[in-house]
Structure 1
Amino acid sequence: MTGRTPARHSLRLYGRTTELAALAALGDRVRSGRGAALVLAAEPGLGRTALLEQAVRDSDAGTVLHVRAAPAERDLPYSGVNSLLTGAPPVPDPPGEVPPACTSPTGLLEALRRVHAREPLLVCVDDAHLWDAASRAALGYAARRAGSLPGVGLLMSVAAHRADAADFAGLPVVRLGPLAEDPAATLVDELAEELTGDPADPNVREAVLHEAIGNPALLIAVVRRLSAAQLAGHAPLPRPLADGAALLRVVGSRLEELPVATRQLLLLVAAAQEQDPDGAGADATLLMRAARAAGFDPAALDAAEAAGVTRSAGNRIRFDDPLLLRAVLSGAALSRRRAAHRLLAAVLGGERHRLSRLLHRALAADGPDPALASCLAAAADSPDVRATPLERSVAFGRAARLTPPGSARTSRLTAAAEHAWFAGDPGRARDLLAAGRQESAHDAVRGCAELVRGTLALHDGPVGDAYEILMLAAALLGPYDQERMLTARLGATEAAWSAGDVPACLVALGGAARTAPAPGEESSTGERSPTEFRTPAAWPPGDRAARPGGDGDLFHDYRAGMLHALGARLDEARRPLRRVLDRAATDHDPARLVRAGVAALVLGNIAAACHVNARALAAARARNLVPLVPQILEHLAYAELRAGRHARARAHAEEGLRAAHRTGRRNSVAHHHAILALAASVEGAGEAVTAHAEAALAIAGPHGLAQAATLAEWARARADLGRGRAADAAARLGPLVRPGHRRGHFAVRMLAVPCYVEAAVLAGEPEDTATAVEEFAVWAAQGADPQAPAQLSRCRALLASAQETEALYEHALVRHELAGGDFERARTLLLYGKWLRRRRRLREARGRLRDALFAFERSGALVWAEQTRAELRATGGAGAREQRPGPLACLTPQQLRIARCVADGATNREVALQLSLSPRTVDHHLRNVFALLGVRSRVELSRLVDQAEKNRPDP
């Protein structure tokens, strides 16, 4: 057919930058008279058809042949080729020449040569894998020889599992994956605005994104299923959001191609995987036994594997696409699903399969069954049962459905939510908690539910809300469960710490626990003390030692130490915190090790903090404690930053960022971005600093993460300082370190004071730093940071008279030797070298600057190393004799530095501040530069310097 296929909806494409670039490159080749071929490969719903239609709309390369495969004609040889060429413009045959037949593998190639004879041609075939075999072979034959078809582009879309088939072998392939979160969220908002005029409610948007898992077609189907009130968050959402009909519309075509016997067996596979949809897959031996018991031939599953619906690995069978698993389950009649579960329960024997057997029995049940629910909950809670957190969550959730309303039901829903969070699925956890909130329950059970809800908010929500929820949990749990009450208080302390709220930290740490009521005493709900039902554990069975607060003495030492530290009484905090750190030597529990790492940082023992957090990471990985990994990596990366190990900090923060995204912990995402921004500010990656700082602040602002926000702003300021923009750095840091409502986080702002003092002095504003320096002196005397005494001497050297400065710099260098850390020592050496150069002590300056250069290079601080090289050149030392191309060779090192600064847009005053010169000296040098280079304006100078820098050979 000719012409262009209209779009099915008005939405534009999001998140497909790479794919659209590949289409643009194909179009460029065609317009330039060359031939090209490209295959777009994706599973249903990911947008391969939308991309192909976009290519048709954007094409301006002459004729477009666009056809979609007709599955009904797949048994007719060459039906696909003929349907394509039916729409081709007629081309008169030369006299005496017989038109080539399109019934041979080479027929399409010859036909395309004839069609494009007059103008460029774009051939688009949607769902090419559904063509008949002969047409597929002819299409692949022509595409592999696209280079012999000048001005012809062949664009095909195929199912992802068919992209490697022999028909398309050797062709360039662009594979489409699920949409990333940001473009998917934008698409949800556009759809909501199209339907209601307003973006979707944030909670609704999050639920839709979680349900669609990046599949645009399913995302569109889900949003268009919702009413305006539901999209606005004013009405409850349907459950499930994507029903069987929507799932089958999106991915059902892959199932329809399979034989009936294969589809029947797929229900068994899906039922076997229902308890752990993200796991390794169903046991193949179990499936074979169940299939034979039902009278099915297990070989029927071969067709599903050949079609790419399922995949075998070892003795496991799993669905290749999680949407297919959901489609099979939700698309089957309830009676058939229950029959499949009964069949699986019947073939599962032995103690090893107790949880799975009970769960299949529960999934086959047709109504409440308290006895079965109790057995299933007990198995899910048993430390002797080997199961993943998600399996335990599914088991507790099903047990709750079989339980009559009341405290036991709420308890089991809470346990299911807790294990879902532990499995890295906060969306499922919130849904389960919401279901439990509709039930009346005992205070102890309500306290457990609030503890889980507060933990979720602590890691993925406003920390102010998390604090209040966790304090409520502590109040509810206090009379019944001291251990979980302490867990809630520690969580509330963490929330208040993240928010920078010292009074709230003190309340969370210092509140006294209430006395438990006597046995049989009624709670505020009127129910008796909970002895007949289980309250959920704070951590999965088998890992009870991982509960925060599991050791009362440890908690009390930690609490006492932190109370003293928050009250600026570090001398009194040392003894209890040292006991916390000493216990860590023989502890293997990651949660307690993380607290020991915090204690080490407060004590100023940075090396111990790095070591303890590294041990915590190893222990968490060994126990597969998924939710703890992002937080531990955050603590470890921060400790490594404090130790000056910026490359290590970056590596761990990058890993932590990925883990935080996978487990839905946005607050941890913000902290990792802030750490990465700080690492980049040392390494000199300016764009990375900006990107990470903005990403951190985008979450830190709405979630109240004062610590992450302060770290991000400090990173921006340090990057400014490294590039010589002292005034910008001072303006950023001033509000953070000086008194006022914008003051930075209490545990971070003192660390930023040395940067602020340096920036303010270099910017010519030293008078603003006196208060900050005196406060820093008090803090440095407490020993909370081994670098602080050296940094204090450096700050005082910057502010001192000429007679005192040298002694202060020398004293700072002595303290640096005691504390270690190349980066901070190099910064002191750089400032000292600048001071010596200004006093014409060039030989001494070169020595200090050379030491600074090597230290910056060891630290990977590239932008600081470049600044130091410039200072060395100004002294006539190493680097001053670099070969400069063109007219710049006639400039002295100092004149070259000034010319480069002016070319960057700096005023004379800014140049003077940046190079530690007087404005009069800058003006004198600049007049000489203009005369030597023969330029009349700053614009001409900028052009000349830019051209010379471009021509300079890369060292």
Structure 2
Amino acid sequence: MTFGVRLLRDGPVADAHNLLLLASGTLRTTDVVRSREAAVHASLAAWSGGDRDGYLRALDALCAPAGPSDGAPPATDSSDSSDSSDSSDSSDSSDSSDSHDPVAAFWRAYRDGMHGVLHGDFERANALLRPVLNLLGAQQEASRLLSAGTIALMLGDLAAARTVLGRALAAARSDATPTLLPRILEHLAYAELREGRYHQARVHAKAGLEAAGDHGQRNVTAGLSAVLALAASIAGDPAAVAAHAQSALHTAHAHGLSQTRTLAEWARARADLGHGNAEHTAARLAPLVHGGPRQGHFGLWMMAVPCYVGATVLAGHDVDVEHLIDQYAVWASLGADPQAPAVVLRCRALVADDEHSEALFVAALAEHEKVDSPYEHARTHLAYGMWLRRRRRPVEARSQLRSAVMGFDQCGADVWTAHADAELRAAGETSTAAPTAISSPGSEPGPLPLLTPQQQRIAHSVAQGATNREVARQLSISTRTVEYHLRNIFTQLGVRSRVALARRLGP
């Protein structure tokens, strides 16, 4: 078992899963405590590798009856672990012999609750796992608090996850348990990331990297790098995103870390979207959100759907995404993510006709008020503001865009703050810092005050070498609109070419 645990931290997780599951079966007749410990680690390895069936097998090994004393394999039907129709009934019947054992009852509740999570039955999962979470959360040991935090994440209770993982962090530091510290920091940073608390996520992920590096835990290091890539993807630092994502993917590919790969690819896609490259975002995410061998981690890919929907709309792709939105809506209704109900309404608003879009945006904003999720809330304000501006309702658009600027600024989403601020200027806002002419003291005013805020943005982009199509994609307008504004810019500034425009605006 020891080698399997070592591989879980620093090696191919499929190998770790197989070794740990074998160890669980071998120990079942001689040491049930260590057998269950091996099964728990096997489940962690399967989750990291995106092996759904392997995860279910490991769960079932937690409560498998002891085999014959000669060590022969017990008579169990492994097909039950992947049957979503009635897994709990078969599990309960197999455990009738130890129904009065509180330890066995604890593990049955954990196993059946996790079956509920994977099969989408969150009502049953909550009923079974909430007592387990409360029991573990009342402990003082870092390892048990980490388990409680993991359960809270599974149930979508992000506030509880942050609280209990914060206690786990304190316990690990006070007890000097260095091997556990990186995993706790990874889970805590991920919980903060899910809630949109990007400042805190960065701090804890960096601390986790330092701790993991001291103890040779490359798999944990890769997971922490993916979290940092996601945090950096909204901060506007493409070099940081690329470095963290590449570090995560290098280990993820070598060790079969599906969870880490999904998060790192999602981070790269979000960075592309934040910098106006919706086509690259859609191309990166398409394999993750659609069925097939390249689909993302079974427990995570659904969270990338809103980003994919937004990218396809901005890129103007003629792709039917409503079936994906319907799938996301079902997932959102299960309660696995507190901000998902608002996000699904935003997705529907993006693809609906004008008659229904506005009501959906308003409903999404009302839903956001129920949850503290500044980043997603600001994304909805931005989407609604852009929708209003494109329909020539600048006064209403400015109100939404101001809220977007403040929301993005609150969670350190610098690239999106700049994007929302530029949209605000394009809607006629004069209180923010608009681009000014390049001139020295005492010189004549430069050319930019002659242009509207939207024309200034187009002029700057064209002067920097952007094509009309690239400008249209960045500003979420049509190529024909760019051409129209460009003709007016040329007339206003007295130039006849893009080269002359670049010279007119100066270095």
1:692 aligned partner, one-letter code: H
Q: 2:470 is matched with which residue?
A: 910
1:593 aligns to 2:152 (yes or no): no
1:574 aligns to 2:126 (yes or no): yes
1:734 aligns to 2:294 (yes or no): no
Where does 1:508-657 land on structure 2 (aligned, <5 Å)?
508-511=58-61, 513=64, 515=66, 552-657=104-209
The change in CA–CA distance for 1:668 and 1:941 in structure 2 (over 3 A counts) is: farther
Where does 1:361-760 land on structure 2 (aligned, <5 Å)?
451-511=1-61, 513=64, 515=66, 552-760=104-312
Where does 1:80-229 land on structure 2 (aligned, <5 Å)?
none
Q: CA deviation at 1:731?
A: 0.9
- Whether contact under 8 Å (1:737, 1:750) holds in the other structure is yes
1:884 aligns to 2:437 (yes or no): yes
Q: CA deviation at 1:829?
A: 0.3
1:895 aligns to 2:448 (yes or no): no
Per-residue CA deviations over 1:866-915 (Å, capped at 9, x if unaligned) read: 11111111111133755332333322211111123334543323322332
1:801 aligns to 2:361 (yes or no): no
- Whether contact under 8 Å (2:29, 2:71) holds in the other structure is no
Q: CA deviation at 1:601?
A: 1.6
Of Structure 1 and Structure 2, the greater helix share is in: 2
Per-residue CA deviations over 1:1-23 (Å, capped at 9, x if unaligned) read: xxxxxxxxxxxxxxxxxxxxxxx
The change in CA–CA distance for 1:478 and 1:584 in structure 2 (over 3 A counts) is: closer
Where does 1:829-844 land on structure 2 (aligned, <5 Å)?
829-844=381-396
| Separation of aligned partners in 1, 2:253 and 2:385 | 40
2:283 aligned partner, one-letter code: A
Q: CA deviation at 1:554?
A: 3.5
| Separation of aligned partners in 1, 2:106 and 2:142 | 14
Q: Secondary structure at the match of 2:369?
A: helix
- Whether contact under 8 Å (2:181, 2:208) holds in the other structure is yes
- Whether contact under 8 Å (1:510, 1:563) holds in the other structure is no
- Whether contact under 8 Å (1:880, 1:893) holds in the other structure is no
Point out where structure 1 has 5 or more consecutive residues left out of the alignment: 1-450, 525-549, 948-955
| Separation of aligned partners in 1, 2:414 and 2:66 | 59
| Separation of aligned partners in 1, 2:506 and 2:34 | 64
Q: CA deviation at 1:652?
A: 0.3
Q: 1:938 is matched with which residue?
A: 498
| Separation of aligned partners in 1, 2:141 and 2:403 | 43
Q: 1:227 is matched with which residue?
A: none
Q: 2:366 is matched with which residue?
A: 814
| Separation of aligned partners in 1, 2:374 and 2:163 | 19
Where does 1:17-96 land on structure 2 (aligned, <5 Å)?
none
Per-residue CA deviations over 1:69-119 (Å, capped at 9, x if unaligned) read: xxxxxxxxxxxxxxxxxxxxxxxxxxxxxxxxxxxxxxxxxxxxxxxxxxx
Q: 1:929 is matched with which residue?
A: 489
1:824 corresponds to which of 371, 376, 400: 376
Per-residue CA deviations over 1:698-738 (Å, capped at 9, x if unaligned) read: 11111101111111111111111111111111111111111
Q: Secondary structure at the match of 1:767?
A: coil
Q: Secondary structure at the match of 2:281?
A: helix
The change in CA–CA distance for 1:762 and 1:653 in structure 2 (over 3 A counts) is: same
Q: CA deviation at 1:556?
A: 2.7
| Separation of aligned partners in 2, 1:472 and 1:919 | 60
Q: 1:81 is matched with which residue?
A: none
Q: CA deviation at 1:935?
A: 4.3
| Separation of aligned partners in 2, 1:695 and 1:842 | 43
Per-residue CA deviations over 1:680-703 (Å, capped at 9, x if unaligned) read: 112222211111011100111111
The change in CA–CA distance for 1:767 and 1:466 in structure 2 (over 3 A counts) is: same
| Separation of aligned partners in 2, 1:711 and 1:500 | 12
- Whether contact under 8 Å (1:901, 1:911) holds in the other structure is yes
Greater RCO structure (CA 8 Å; 6+ sep): 2
- Whether contact under 8 Å (2:117, 2:155) holds in the other structure is no
Where does 1:338-353 land on structure 2 (aligned, <5 Å)?
none
2:21 aligned partner, one-letter code: M
- Whether contact under 8 Å (2:137, 2:145) holds in the other structure is no
Q: CA deviation at 1:927?
A: 1.9
Of Structure 1 and Structure 2, the greater strand share is in: 1
- Whether contact under 8 Å (1:738, 1:771) holds in the other structure is no
Please, what is the CA RMSD of the aligned residues? 2.0
Q: Secondary structure at the match of 1:819?
A: coil
1:770 aligned partner, one-letter code: E
- Whether contact under 8 Å (1:757, 1:766) holds in the other structure is no
- Whether contact under 8 Å (1:873, 1:893) holds in the other structure is yes
Q: CA deviation at 1:740?
A: 1.6
Per-residue CA deviations over 1:41-64 (Å, capped at 9, x if unaligned) read: xxxxxxxxxxxxxxxxxxxxxxxx
1:477 aligned partner, one-letter code: L
Per-residue CA deviations over 1:233-280 (Å, capped at 9, x if unaligned) read: xxxxxxxxxxxxxxxxxxxxxxxxxxxxxxxxxxxxxxxxxxxxxxxx
1:921 aligned partner, one-letter code: T
Q: CA deviation at 1:924?
A: 0.9
2:375 aligned partner, one-letter code: F
| Separation of aligned partners in 1, 2:104 and 2:353 | 54
| Separation of aligned partners in 1, 2:238 and 2:267 | 10
* Larger displacement relative to structure 2 (679-688 or 653-662): 679-688
Q: Secondary structure at the match of 1:884?
A: coil
| Separation of aligned partners in 2, 1:476 and 1:919 | 66
| Separation of aligned partners in 2, 1:522 and 1:927 | 83
| Separation of aligned partners in 1, 2:163 and 2:65 | 37
| Separation of aligned partners in 2, 1:939 and 1:464 | 57
Q: CA deviation at 1:856?
A: 1.1
| Separation of aligned partners in 2, 1:687 and 1:466 | 33
| Separation of aligned partners in 2, 1:628 and 1:940 | 61
- Whether contact under 8 Å (1:606, 1:642) holds in the other structure is yes
Q: CA deviation at 1:486?
A: 0.6
| Separation of aligned partners in 2, 1:734 and 1:603 | 27
Give the number of aligned pairs.
Answer: 470
When normalised by structure 1's length, the TM-score is 0.48
| Separation of aligned partners in 2, 1:556 and 1:789 | 31
The change in CA–CA distance for 1:899 and 1:883 in structure 2 (over 3 A counts) is: closer
- Whether contact under 8 Å (1:872, 1:880) holds in the other structure is no
* Larger displacement relative to structure 2 (506-515 or 930-939): 930-939
* Larger displacement relative to structure 2 (707-716 or 768-777): 768-777
When normalised by structure 2's length, the TM-score is 0.89
Q: Secondary structure at the match of 1:682?
A: coil
Q: CA deviation at 1:513?
A: 3.2
1:773 aligned partner, one-letter code: I
- Whether contact under 8 Å (1:479, 1:513) holds in the other structure is no
